[in-house]
Every structure is written in structure tokens, then in C-alpha cells.
């Protein structure tokens, strides 16, 4: 069962002495025991009697960690330059602390966690938040008609939905807002605007920082560098992080309304297939553009 580490990602190896040890080997050994990619484990602090590692993953399957303390310590003893005392131990201030559970407790904890997690997941999946992006809304140049429409639609679908506010055209700010929404246990996060080809459009870039494998199909392509187009075209995006699904929609209100049918189709039951949802939204918008352009796109 996947659990969110809630930013408590550090593991401490206590009562250990390093003698010309290679920290890369130490991190690799921990990654191997926890069945994590080597790139997701990093030694971040070394002291005279302990070392601290950071797990870069935001979520982890509890079965990868629980009860693994003895195995981890035994494996670290095989690393050159790592000297562990007989009373060495591993701890964490967060959920990773389950690494110290006794083997006979692990099965019961996993079972209980699965029951609680299933109930928690159902609750998370029915929580939604909507963000509007763009300086024109931020500066009250135009009215935000998208957010009220989406909130009403989500409420009809049984979501507990709220407005997250207006976010400026800044990739770092958008990324932070999306990440915070996931950490606050929102199962569905929708943004409107910022998916175009101009230099002020950053919603897709923010999404792919959180999910490098996000589905980002093209709606229409342009000749890059012509006019205001600094990118190849317009995309929408659907990505995921743990239990949270992120959806990047265009800004025009008629396109948000058109996208609503696909969102309604995919977001009314259980976990969401990000590729299927992205493709359905993209096809709806492409068809809308075909109708606008008399049967074809302008490139």
C-alpha cells in the first residue's frame, strides 16, 4: 500500500562510525534494501555517531520499509568503512519509523494500514480544489467564470470542492501550489489557463515537475517563433502524485465547459486513468477547434 511520507523523509542510522567510507555505496545499499531507485536515496548528513539519509520519493509502499531495520543494518555492515555498534538502530521522525517494527508485528500493521488507507483513499479521492491562473484574472482585468463552473460541476459529482485562489504566471509558484494541494490530501486538483504557446504559459511545465510522465497531448500546434508563439503549440495536461490527480485545462470558458464532459466521465468513480482522461479532454477540444476553424486547424 502506497503511503505519503508527508515531507518526513529522513532515515537516521544511529551508533555508526565511518572510516573512509564511500557515501555513494552507503546510499546504494539502503536503496537496495528498501527496493528504491538509487537516485531516490541520498546521504545528507554525517556525524560522529550517526548518519542521515533522505528518501526523495514522496510516496512509498509500506511493505518496502516495515520491519527492515535488521536487514538494513546487516547489509550496511558489508560496506567497506562502515562500522556499526552492536546496539546500532535506525529511526525516523515520520512514517518511515515503521522500519523498526518487529517482524511479528509487521503483518498486523500492514493489514490495519490497508484498512485505514482504503478508507482514507476514498475520502481523499472525493476532495477537489480549483485554481485559476493568469495575470489578467490576478489583476481583475477579466472575471473568473471558470472556477464557479468547475466547483458547481464537481459538487454535483459528489466532491467536496473548494477554490484555491488565483495563481500568477510563475512556474515556481504554480508548482508549489500543486504540491501543497497534494500534501493537503486533495484527490483532484484542476488549474485553468497557462497551457498555451506564449512565454507566460507555465501550467504544463509546473505539472511535469511533479510528474515527469504526465500525459500532455497537443490540442493544436503552431510554428514556433512566429508571432507570440515561443512554444510549439497548446497542450492540456493530466498528471498524478500518489492519490492526487492534476488536470491542466485551457483558459477560455467555452473550452473549460467542453472539457467538463470528459472530467465528469472519468472523475466520478475511484482512481483516475491519467492517459485516458487526458486523451478524452484533448479530443473534445480538438473537435471544438475543428468546428471553429471550419473543419481544420490553423498551423
Whether residues 112 and 160 fall in one domain: no
Instruction: Give the end of a domain, one of 118, 136, 167.
Output: 118
Query: Mean pLDDT by 10-residue block, N- to C-terminus, for the chain (299 residues)?
Result: 56 92 94 90 90 81 78 93 92 67 54 49 77 92 96 92 94 94 88 89 94 94 67 91 91 95 82 92 92 57
Measuring CA to CA, which residue among 130, 153, 170 is closest to residue 251? 130
Whether residues 256 and 192 fall in one domain: yes
At 116 the pLDDT is 43
At 161 the pLDDT is 93
pTM score: 0.64
Whether residues 268 and 190 fall in one domain: yes
Whether residues 138 and 112 fall in one domain: no
**Strand ranges, E, within the chain:** 2-4, 10-18, 41-46, 50-55, 59-61, 82-91, 127-133, 160-167, 188-192, 218-221, 233-235, 237-241, 244-249
Residue 227: CATH number of its domain: 3.40.980.10
At 299 the pLDDT is 38
Asked if the structure places residue 298 within a domain, the reply is no
What domain range includes position 251? Answer: 126-292
Asked if the structure places residue 226 within a domain, the reply is yes
At 221 the pLDDT is 83
Is there a contact between 84 and 74 (Cβ–Cβ < 8 Å)? no
Grid coordinates of 95? 512514517
**CA 1/CA 113 separation, integer angstroms:** 8
Whether residues 100 and 38 fall in one domain: yes
Asked if the structure places residue 259 within a domain, the reply is yes
Q: Model confidence over 145-156: pLDDT tens digits? A: 999 999 999 999
C-alpha torsion sign, points 232, 274, 241, 57: negative
Whether residues 191 and 244 fall in one domain: yes
Instruction: Give the end of a domain, one of 83, 118, 153.
Output: 118
Q: Model confidence over 154-169: pLDDT tens digits? A: 999 988 899 999 999 9
Asked if the structure places residue 109 within a domain, the reply is yes
> What is the DSSP pairing of strand 127-133 with strand 160-167?
parallel
Asked if the structure places residue 95 within a domain, the reply is yes
Is there a contact between 31 and 65 (Cβ–Cβ < 8 Å)? no
Whether residues 286 and 149 fall in one domain: yes
**CA 106/CA 258 separation, integer angstroms:** 48
Q: Model confidence over 218-260: pLDDT tens digits? A: 998 876 656 566 788 899 999 998 789 999 999 999 999 999 9
**CA 59/CA 13 separation, integer angstroms:** 21
Tell me the C-alpha to C-alpha distance, in Å, between residue 19 and each of 43, 51, 184. 15, 13, 42
Asked if the structure places residue 297 within a domain, the reply is no
At 272 the pLDDT is 87
Amino acid at each position: 500500500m502506497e503511503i505519503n511520507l508527508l515531507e518526513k523523509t529522513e532515515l537516521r542510522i544511529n551508533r555508526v562510525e565511518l572510516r573512509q567510507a564511500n557515501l555513494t555505496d552507503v546510499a546504494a545499499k539502503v536503496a537496495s534494501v528498501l527496493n528504491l531507485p538509487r537516485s531516490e536515496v541520498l546521504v545528507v548528513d554525517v556525524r560522529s555517531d550517526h548518519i542521515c539519509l533522505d528518501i526523495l520519493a514522496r510516496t512509498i509502499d509500506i511493505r518496502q520499509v516495515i520491519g527492515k531495520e535488521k536487514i538494513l543494518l546487516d547489509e550496511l555492515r558489508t560496506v567497506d568503512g562502515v562500522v556499526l555498534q552492536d546496539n546500532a538502530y535506525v529511526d525516523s521522525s515520520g512514517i518511515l519509523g515503521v522500519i523498526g517494527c518487529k517482524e511479528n508485528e509487521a503483518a498486523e500493521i500492514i493489514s490495519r494500514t490497508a484498512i485505514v488507507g482504503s478508507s482514507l483513499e476514498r475520502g481523499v479521492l472525493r476532495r477537489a480544489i480549483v485554481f485559476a491562473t493568469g495575470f489578467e484574472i490576478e489583476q481583475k482585468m477579466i472575471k473568473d467564470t471558470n472556477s464557479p463552473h468547475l466547483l458547481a460541476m464537481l459538487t454535483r459529482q459528489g466532491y467536496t470542492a473548494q477554490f484555491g485562489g488565483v495563481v500568477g504566471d510563475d512556474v515556481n509558484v504554480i508548482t508549489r501550489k500543486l504540491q501543497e494541494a497534494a500534501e493537503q490530501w486533495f484527490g483532484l486538483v484542476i488549474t485553468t489557463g497557462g497551457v498555451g504557446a506564449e512565454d507566460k504559459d507555465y501550467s504544463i511545465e509546473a505539472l511535469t515537475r511533479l510528474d515527469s510522465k504526465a500525459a500532455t497531448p497537443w490540442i493544436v500546434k503552431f510554428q514556433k517563433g512566429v508571432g507570440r508563439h515561443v512554444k510549439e503549440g497548446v497542450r492540456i495536461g493530466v498528471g498524478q502524485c500518489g492519490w492526487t490527480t492534476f488536470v491542466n485545462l485551457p483558459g477560455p470558458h467555452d473550452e473549460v465547459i467542453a472539457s467538463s464532459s470528459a472530467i465528469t466521465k472519468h472523475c466520478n468513480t475511484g482512481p483516475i486513468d491519467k492517459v485516458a482522461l487526458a486523451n478524452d479532454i484533448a479530443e473534445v477540444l480538438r473537435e471544438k477547434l475543428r468546428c471553429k476553424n471550419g473543419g481544420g486547424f490553423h498551423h
